[in-house]
Structure 1
Amino acid sequence: MFKGNIRIPKGYTHKNAGWVDEMNKIVDPLKINFTGQYYIALHSCGAQCRYYTVFNLQNGQDLSKLAENLPSSPESE
Structure 2
Amino acid sequence: MSARTHTRPHSATTGAGVDSRLPWWALALPVLAFVALLLLIRNPADAQAAAGDPALTQLFRHARELLAR
TM-score normalised by length of structure 1: 0.19
- Greater strand proportion: 1
Of structures 1 and 2, the one scoring higher in RCO (CA 8 A, sep 6+) is 1
Bigger radius of gyration among the two: 2
